[in-house]
Structure 1
Amino acid sequence: MDEKNKMNVEIAKAYAYCEKIIKKHSKSFYFAFSKLPKEKANAVYAIYAFCRLADDSIDEAETKEEQAKALKKLTEELKEFEQGVEADQYLWIVLRDVFNRYSMSVQPFYDQIKGQTMDYYFKQPQTMKELEDYSYYVAGSVGLMLLPIIASENHKHLEGEAIALGVAMQLTNILRDIGEDFKEIRRIYLPKDVMAQFGYSEAELAKEVINDVLIQMWEYIASRAEQLYDDFSQSLKHFDKDSQQQVALAAKVYEGIINAVRENRYDCSTMKNKTSTATKALLYKDVKNNFSAR
């Protein structure tokens, strides 16, 4: 086997590795993006694997020192990658292939690491603006990473919309995980001024109190997420034709988590709120029919 074929085999193995990661950790994203053309799907898997590595740098490290060390190592590897020298690991092999194929920018990758660093130095946000700024770094940055792949011709003009989708998804995560975040890692992502505005206390959160105040506060943030999902949906026609349905489906499946919480009577502590397999199938059918009717 010549050198070129060896490299192609190695790249194929690396993409398969990334596909396993997204398939294991995010069934919703995999459900939507696996329906992209293979080359684009592979690129999405690679980006997801990078974000997973950044997230794991915080979540899997047992001490603050280990977290700081892991983030520093990832930053150094990204700097080397930017300079054209990547580590001989599956993740960096496929990212190089992605950067060779698409008009990628490295800045959102640094922004993703900054988002994980914000988690490392976590402080409860004071305002919705602070929460949305944080949401940009941990999730809006992912939208910017994906843009050159799914909007190859118009990616420079769709940055605001891509960020809106990422922020909407992060707000959805926060609404879904209110109880789990507090119980397991003692974090409150709900802004202090929003909790004060509605009169919901940390003591009530600790006791997993579900009352009208919680519901009103939850819906206040949910309405912002739904506005951002709607803002994003207006831009779908500008994405690549072979990616529009898949991107629409990803947004719909994630937005479905909001309705799942409502259906479970706002229980964000004991229920695992997610878009069910049956609902995903219905959303897929609806999205497909909507695009077929155009």
Structure 2
Amino acid sequence: MDTSLGRSYECCRQLHRRHGRTYYLATRLLPAWKRRHVHALYGFTRYADEIVDQTGELSPEMRAARLADWSDRFLAGLGGERVDDPLLPAVLHTIAVFDLDRADFAAFLRSMAMDLTVASYPRYADLLDYMDGSAAAIGTMMLPILGSVDPAAAREPARQLGFAFQLTNFIRDVAEDLDRGRVYLPAEDLAAFGVTHADLVAAAGRRAVTPRIRQLIEYEVTRARAHYRAAAPGVTLLAPASQSCIRTAYVLYGGILDEVIAAGYDVFARRAVVPRRRRAAVVARALLTPTGTPVAVPGSPGEPWRRMSRAGAPNRDRRTTATTP
């Protein structure tokens, strides 16, 4: 690598280390030559996310202009132009090395632009449309870097893992998203459990959950775990050198949901974090697990689904469709 490209990869690594602690820990289990490419993708996606999340510092118009400028520079780089940017050379190099699908990046930037104008989602299908770019596309970006014995079979599990990780973040960060003026829990789910937007705001202000919100969060945890179940077969389809990394990420992100459950589904009292000791144990276990061992799938369908049905929400398609567990 030339010096400027090396600096760009290091800039992405530092961004990943600072802001993506769980995922960064997992990537340390990858071979070094793969690791830098994962950092590059994280740097790209994180920076775009930071632009749209600067709600306190920049107006929507300013954020839209900044995202458009960033996107234009990225597209110019894809077209072969030299870009003067600390992050873009690394991601452009990664795209070239692995011939990554440009459509995934277009889908991602589309979802980032949605965050500038969309504050809530009526149905889960609408949220899935957003997450198709913000989460599933990242799973398919990653797949060529991780490598797979059967890329076609691994594609949908990779998408499902993206959904699972992002839903985990949405569940944990309800209060933080409210501060940005957004709700990523579908309006149909709130209505099914008798929860209003004002109820969420009040609970965040009190830093205490209500019984109805508790039931809502329990349901969303069950939905996220359905995506984890759909993603699980993909871990053993990865290249052997990548399995311990994704196994660790799978367990640690799922562990955030464990912490939410342990807190009685109260996502307002404190931010759910996997304890450091457990994180270290997960890494050690992943290193000792033989390649090809299926991941332990958390949770099971059942009571929350029945409760949702009793609450009057439509239950069809929830457990039968691949993209909407």
Matched, 1:269 2:259: no
**Deviates further, 70-79 or 85-94:** 85-94
How many residues in Structure 1 have an aligned counterpart in Structure 2?
Answer: 287
Please say if residues 11 and 93 of structure 1, whose CA atoms lie closer than 8 Å, have aligned partners that are also in contact. yes
Please say if residues 139 and 170 of structure 1, whose CA atoms lie closer than 8 Å, have aligned partners that are also in contact. yes
Q: Kindly report structure 1 stretches of 4+ aligned residues shifted beyond 3 Å.
A: 152-157
AA in 1 matched with 2:64: A
1:9–1:224 Cα change, 3 Å: same
Question: CA separation in 2, counterparts of 1:194 and 1:100?
Answer: 42
Please say if residues 139 and 162 of structure 2, whose CA atoms lie closer than 8 Å, have aligned partners that are also in contact. yes
The corresponding residue for 2:160 is: 164
AA in 2 matched with 1:48: Y
Question: CA separation in 1, counterparts of 2:271 and 2:224?
Answer: 19
AA in 1 matched with 2:125: K
Question: CA separation in 2, counterparts of 1:67 and 1:292?
Answer: 44
Q: Shift in Å at residue 96 of structure 1?
A: 2.9
Question: CA separation in 1, counterparts of 2:167 and 2:92?
Answer: 31
The corresponding residue for 2:7 is: 13
1:56 to 41, 50, 61: 50
The corresponding residue for 1:279 is: 278
Question: CA separation in 2, counterparts of 1:132 and 1:278?
Answer: 34
Q: Shift in Å at residue 147 of structure 1?
A: 1.0
Calculate the TM-score normalised by the size of structure 2: 0.83
Larger fraction in helix: 1
AA in 2 matched with 1:189: Y
The corresponding residue for 1:218 is: 217
The corresponding residue for 1:65 is: 61
Question: CA separation in 1, counterparts of 2:98 and 2:148?
Answer: 8
Ranges in structure 1 where 5+ consecutive residues have no aligned partner: 1-6
Please say if residues 240 and 291 of structure 2, whose CA atoms lie closer than 8 Å, have aligned partners that are also in contact. no
The corresponding residue for 2:175 is: 179
Q: Secondary structure at the match of 2:87?
A: helix
Question: CA separation in 2, counterparts of 1:168 and 1:180?
Answer: 19
1:196 to 175, 188, 191: 191
Question: CA separation in 2, counterparts of 1:12 and 1:79?
Answer: 21
Please say if residues 257 and 275 of structure 1, whose CA atoms lie closer than 8 Å, have aligned partners that are also in contact. yes
Matched, 1:126 2:147: no
Please say if residues 119 and 181 of structure 2, whose CA atoms lie closer than 8 Å, have aligned partners that are also in contact. no
**Deviates further, 46-55 or 274-283:** 274-283
AA in 2 matched with 1:70: R
1:149 to 145, 150, 173: 145
Q: Shift in Å at residue 152 of structure 1?
A: 5.1
Q: Secondary structure at the match of 1:237?
A: helix
Ranges in structure 2 where 5+ consecutive residues have no aligned partner: 294-325
The corresponding residue for 2:289 is: 290
1:26 to 20, 25, 30: 20
Please say if residues 158 and 234 of structure 2, whose CA atoms lie closer than 8 Å, have aligned partners that are also in contact. no
AA in 1 matched with 2:189: V
AA in 2 matched with 1:74: W
Question: CA separation in 1, counterparts of 2:249 and 2:256?
Answer: 12
